[in-house]
Amino acid sequence: MWDKARTRELFVHYHEHGDEESRDELITMYLNLVKYLASRFRNRGEPIDDLIQVGTIGLIKAIDRFDIGREVEFTTYATPTIVGELKRYFRDKGWAIKVPRRLQELSFRVNQAVDALTQREQRSPSILEIAEYLEVTTEDVLEALETSEAYNFVSLETDRTSEGSDSFSILEYIGEDDQLMALVDDRTMLSEGLKHLAPLEQRVLYLRFFQGLTQTEIAAMLGISQMQVSRLLRRTLRLLREHITLEEV
Amino acid sequence: MASDRITLTVPARGEYARTVRMTAAELASRIGMSFDEVDDVRMGAEEAFVYASERVGESANVTFTFTVSADALEVEVGPMPTPDEGAAAVSEGYAEFILRSVCDEFEIQHAPEGCTLCLCRRAAAPAGEPGA
């Protein structure tokens, strides 16, 4: 099912030469393992796609930490990491599940309304416009925005399919961007943090904070919804913050 | 319209990030900011909250003073202890960078009682109801 020789080769490329494409290939290669493990949790009321996304995060962690020097199959090593991530997801979901279904649905409708109104008006709609469009109150819209926080898992699938072999790396822009240079200069943990972001995350981060594009512009450019851009940014900022916090400890 | 002032003091713990985000978002939407802008304000409020929380420590409070005028939302966060040179340089640079990106104006004011973050975000154009 999995090509062991190729796996080994890819790990050498990735860990010893930092080749991101090898990492991506590993992720694609072992996605079946994630799907299989995720399917074991399918009767717990969560959409299988979400579970696959969560499992993929576990897979990526396993890929990043795996030591090929050890006499262990990668699948043996990765399985507990992926399952651990899924279990943690259900544990963390404790509070998220308490989000009333009404709000979950509203969050979904707000997402659609933002896209529809942006299309129609050719600009980002106001909260009031969204509320009127959906015939709800502005408080409902803001509440829905918060609810979307509970769904932090932006589709990694989008990441892979939308750009094909997107190998965007923010660090490649260091030479061209003084701001970026000033930020990562001498701050190795931050550059380390940036490396751990998926290409799509890096691209969104770069477009938003270095190119100064708005979320609406980024969404249009990448063909994803604005709320996805919002969630990607949030996730990205949290990841970077974690890296910084680690460094300071 | 004359500007209104709203003060919010919350414990410097992560669970209150939501309170801060919601308040900031509500005030931003009140002056007709777009969805884009409201999300920037939320992001900025959260970053400022995290930044301040790290400075004051878990057992202390963080105070936000929002000033709402017809076309802008100003936020002052603090006062908080002035960070040591070096130790906080990284998160300092990072938070400042993010805050500068999501705000139209950003500065750190230093005073004897500590430093205060001053952020300002303007509503680009009155969406929906011009002149409202």
Q: How far is B76 from chain A (nearest CA, A)?
A: 22
pLDDT of A236 > 80? The answer is yes
Chain A within 8 Å of B21 (Cβ-Cβ)?
yes
The ipTM of this complex is 0.81
Task: Give the nearest partner residue to B128 out of A128, A226, A241, using CB atoms.
Answer: A128
Nearest residue on chain A to B17, alpha-carbon basis: A146
Is B103 part of a structural domain of the chain? yes
- Interface contact flag, A142 B37, Cβ < 8 Å: no
Q: Please choose, from the candidates A132, A28, A37, the residue with its C-alpha nearest in 3D space to the C-alpha of residue A87.
A: A37
Q: How far is A95 from chain B (nearest CA, A)?
A: 12
Is B69 part of a structural domain of the chain? yes
pLDDT tens column, A8-63: 999 999 988 888 899 999 999 999 889 888 887 776 667 888 889 999 999 998 99
**pLDDT tier, B95 (very low <50, low <70, confident <90, very high otherwise):** confident
What pLDDT is recorded for position A44?
Answer: 67
Query: CA A230, CA A118: separation in Å to the nearest integer?
Result: 15
Q: How far is B35 from chain A (nearest CA, A)?
A: 5
Is B13 part of a structural domain of the chain? yes
Nearest residue on chain B to A219, alpha-carbon basis: B36
CA quadruple A213, A216, A217, A218: dihedral positive or negative?
positive
pLDDT of A156 > 50? The answer is no
Residue B124: burial class (beta carbons within 10 Å; 0-12, 13-18, 19+) = middle
CATH number at B92 reads 3.30.565.10
- Interface contact flag, A138 B29, Cβ < 8 Å: yes
Total domains, chain B? 1
Task: Give the nearest partner residue to B22 out of A146, A226, A245, using CB atoms.
Answer: A146
Among A24-28, B2-6, B89-93, B98-102, name the one with the lowest average pLDDT: B89-93
Chain B residues in contact with A237 by the CB 8 A cut-off are 43, 47, 98
Chain A within 8 Å of B14 (Cβ-Cβ)?
no
Is B44 part of a structural domain of the chain? yes
DSSP for residue B92: H
Q: Which residues pair with B111 in a beta bridge?
A: B114
Please give the order of strands across the beta sheet that includes B4-11: B4-11, B61-68, B72-80, B114-122, B105-111
Q: Best residue in A98, A126, A191, A192 to probe B by mutation, most B CBs within 10 Å? A: A126
Is B129 part of a structural domain of the chain? no
Is B132 part of a structural domain of the chain? no
pLDDT tens column, B10-55: 999 878 888 999 999 999 999 999 998 999 999 899 889 988 988 8
**pLDDT tier, A246 (very low <50, low <70, confident <90, very high otherwise):** low
What pLDDT is recorded for position A249?
Answer: 38
Instruction: Check if the beta carbon of residue A142 is closer than 8 Å to that of residue B22.
Output: yes
Over chain A, what is the mean pLDDT? 77
Q: Best residue in B19, B36, B49 to probe A by mutation, most A CBs within 10 Å? A: B36
Q: Best residue in A107, A121, A123, A127 to probe B by mutation, most B CBs within 10 Å? A: A127
Domains within chain A, CATH numbers bracketed? 4-96 (1.10.1740.10), 101-149 (1.10.10.10), 152-248 (1.10.10.10)
**pLDDT tier, B127 (very low <50, low <70, confident <90, very high otherwise):** very low
Q: How far is CA B66 from CA A171, B4, B5, B28, B52, in A?
A: 36, 8, 6, 10, 15
Query: CA A179, CA B23: separation in Å to the nearest integer?
Result: 31
Overall average pLDDT of the A201-214 stretch: 86
Instruction: Check if the beta carbon of residue B32 is closer than 8 Å to that of residue B132.
Output: yes
Which of the pair, B118 or A191, is modelled with greater confidence?
Answer: B118
Instruction: Check if the beta carbon of residue A125 is closer than 8 Å to that of residue A114.
Output: yes
Q: Is the peptide bond before B79 cis (omega within 30 degrees of 0)?
A: yes
- Interface contact flag, B94 A241, Cβ < 8 Å: yes
Q: Please choose, from the candidates B114, B112, B101, B108, the residue with its C-alpha nearest in 3D space to the C-alpha of residue B57.
A: B114
What pLDDT is recorded for position A127?
Answer: 94
What pLDDT is recorded for position A173?
Answer: 62
Is B128 part of a structural domain of the chain? no
Is B113 part of a structural domain of the chain? yes
Range of the domain at B66: 4-122
